[in-house]
């Protein structure tokens, strides 16, 4: 018996480093090293990207310092660069897109996971995934020829008529502006938020809903009291993932947002995002400071995106933690 027990490893199949070479499973070790290598490669790639952007933007960091984040003057002819209009445009368009997309997406996810009849579930989920498959440029083209005229001729005048007392809906409207850009972003991030929300709803055990139903709740009340409070961290995580996508979206936005580095209270006014300015001006920038300024904008965007994705991950894991834990 004792002889047999030494032939098997003490832990579950893991190769212990103290085993003699004849008993080491070399195939397993090679497998582990290879897959670990690929995983580390990903981390190295991200670190290399960050380092590369820091190096590329050194000139601009030194020249402008913190002024870069507060100045609104973007003048390539004179050589002064300030990123505030782009930060404003990126943040406002993304948040507005989120505000428009989240209610719709969560409603769709709720319908798909709770209420849809089984025959409808498949096709509807597929249709939502299709939205994600449409290329960004196609959204932009559709926006130029369909959405922008619609906004200019119908939606924006209506908003001005109803909400014109607010500064957000005043001023001239040309169809191409912050509101149109946000609308197309909202359509583009809906599939992301819907799929993650659907997974979040699916992760919640049925017992939560059944408990509420057993106490006499209606369908809506059982979802509101049984499912939503538990799902909330996960839904917030889904929303932040959508926000992350919205922050980086380039082509569709640059075709519809008007590309004007100006901060204006009106949502009808044109604006500019960080990703758009890099896509527009990088190929023709020849001066070193200009290139460095654009690289610094890339660095800003990179930092913001990583930060938001980190927050999203933590929140989504929290849901998985509470539901698979010991909650009675």
Partner 1 sequence: MDMRNSQRLFVSRPSLFSGLPLLAFALFVLLGCESSKGRPSMETGSQPGTVSLNGAGATFPFPLYSKWMSEYNKINPDVRINYQSIGSGGGIRQVTAGTVDFGASDAPMDADSQAKASGTIDHIPTTLGAVAVSYNLAGIQGLKLDGDTLTQIFHGKILRWNDAKLAALNPDLKLPDQAITVIYRSDGSGTTAVFTDYLGTVSPAWKAEVGVGKSVRWPVGLGAKGNEGVTGQLKVSPGSIGYIELAYALQNKLAIAAIKNKAGQFVLPDVAAVTAAASEVSLSEALTASIVDAAGPGAYPISSFTYLLVHRDAKDRRKGEALARFLWWALHDGQKFSSALHYAPLPASVTAKVESRLRSLTAGGQVLLSGT
22 vs 119, beta carbon nearer partner 1? 22
Residues 296, 297, 298, 300, CA torsion sign: positive
**Smallest distance, Å, CB 287 to partner 1?**
7
Least spacing, CB of residue 17 vs partner 1, in Å: 19
Helix (H, G, I), strand (E, B) or coil at 75: strand
Among 63, 114, 199, 281, binds partner 1 (CB under 8 A): 281
Q: How far is the CB of 307 from partner 1 (least distance, A)?
A: 28
- DSSP symbol at 267: T
**Contact status: 178 vs partner 1 (CB under 8 A):** no
Concatenating the DSSP letter of every residue in 193-248 gives HHHHHHHHHHHS-HHHHHHHHHTT--HHHHIIIIIHHHHHHHHHHHHHHHHHHHHH
For partner 1, the binding residue among 105, 270, 295, 296 (CB under 8 A) is 270
Of 116, 285, 311, 320, the residue at the interface with partner 1 (CB under 8 A) is: 285
Q: Is 283 in the site for partner 1 (CB under 8 A)?
A: yes
By CB under 8 A, the residues from 19 to 58 that bind partner 1 are: none
Stretch that binds partner 1, among 47-55, 71-79, 105-113, 156-164 (CB under 8 A): 71-79
Q: Which is nearer to partner 1, 13 or 117 (CB)?
A: 13
For partner 1, the binding residue among 71, 170, 174, 322 (CB under 8 A) is 174
* Helices and strands in the chain, H and E counts: 16, 0
74 binds partner 1 (CB under 8 A): yes
Positions 200 through 229 that interact with partner 1 (CB under 8 A): none
Q: Which two tokens stand for residue 264?
A: 């204006």
CA distance linking residue 49 with residue 43, whole number of Å: 10
Alpha carbons within 13 A on the beta-carbon side of 294: 18
Could you tell me the two tokens for 144?
């130029």
Q: Is 6 in the site for partner 1 (CB under 8 A)?
A: no
Binding region for partner 1 (CB under 8 A) out of 42-50, 60-68, 163-171, 250-258 = 250-258
Q: Applying CB under 8 A, does 289 fall inside the site for partner 1?
A: no
Beta-carbon contacts of 124 under 8 Å, excluding residues fewer than 6 positions away, are 108, 111, 112, 116
The answer to whether the CB of 86 falls within 8 A of the CB of 297 is: yes
Among 71, 136, 280, 309, binds partner 1 (CB under 8 A): 280
Q: With CB under 8 A as the contact rule, which of the stretches 172-180, 181-189, 232-240, 297-305 interacts with partner 1?
A: 172-180
b/e per residue, 186-218, with b = 16+ CB within 10 A? bbbbbbbbbbbbbbbbebbeeebbeebeeeebe
CB of 71 to partner 1, least distance (A): 13
Interatomic CA distance for residues 30 and 270, integer angstroms: 56
Classified as helix, coil or strand, 144 is: helix
- Count of residues in contact with partner 1, rule CB under 8 A: 36
85 binds partner 1 (CB under 8 A): no
Count the neighbouring beta carbons within 10 Å of the beta carbon of residue 62: 10
Stretch binding partner 1 (CB under 8 A), from 41-49, 168-176, 187-195, 211-219: 168-176
145-181 as b/e: b if 16+ CB within 10 A: eebbeebbeebbeebbeeeeeeebbbeebebbbbbbb
Min separation Cβ 175 and partner 1, Å: 7
When the beta carbons of 152 and 318 are compared against partner 1, the nearer one is 152
Sites of contact with partner 1 (CB under 8 A): 8, 12-13, 73-78, 141, 144-145, 148-149, 152, 172, 174-176, 254-255, 258-261, 270, 272, 276, 279-281, 283-287
């Amino acid at each position: 018996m004792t002889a047999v027990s030494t032939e098997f490893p003490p832990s579950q199949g893991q190769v212990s480093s103290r085993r003699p070479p004849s008993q080491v499973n070399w195939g397993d070790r090679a497998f582990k090293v290879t897959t670990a290598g690929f995983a580390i490669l990903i981390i190295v790639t991200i670190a290399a990207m960050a380092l590369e952007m820091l190096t590329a933007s050194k000139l601009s960091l030194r020249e402008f310092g913190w002024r870069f984040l507060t100045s609104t003057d973007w003048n390539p002819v004179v050589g002064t660069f300030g990123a505030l209009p782009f930060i404003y445009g990126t943040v406002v368009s993304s948040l507005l897109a989120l505000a428009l997309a989240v209610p719709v997406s969560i409603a769709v996810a709720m319908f798909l996971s709770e209420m849809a009849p089984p025959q409808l579930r498949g096709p509807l989920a597929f249709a939502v995934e299709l939205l994600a498959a449409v290329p960004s440029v196609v959204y932009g083209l559709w926006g130029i020829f369909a959405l922008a005229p619609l906004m200019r001729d119908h939606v924006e005048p209506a908003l001005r008529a109803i909400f014109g007392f607010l500064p957000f809906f005043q001023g001239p409207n040309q169809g191409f502006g912050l509101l149109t850009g946000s609308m197309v972003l909202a359509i583009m991030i809906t599939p992301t938020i819907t799929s993650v929300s659907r997974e979040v709803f699916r992760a919640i055990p049925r017992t939560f809903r059944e408990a509420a139903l057993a106490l006499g709740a209606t369908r809506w009340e059982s979802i509101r009291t049984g499912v939503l409070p538990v799902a909330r961290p996960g839904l917030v995580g889904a929303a932040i993932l959508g926000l992350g996508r919205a922050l980086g979206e380039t082509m569709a936005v640059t075709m519809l947002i008007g590309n004007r580095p100006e901060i204006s209270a009106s949502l009808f006014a044109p604006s500019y995002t960080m990703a758009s300015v890099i896509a527009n001006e990088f190929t023709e920038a020849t001066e070193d400071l200009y290139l460095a300024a654009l690289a610094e904008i890339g660095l800003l965007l990179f930092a913001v995106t990583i930060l938001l994705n980190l927050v999203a991950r933590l929140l989504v894991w929290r849901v998985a933690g509470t539901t698979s834990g010991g909650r009675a």
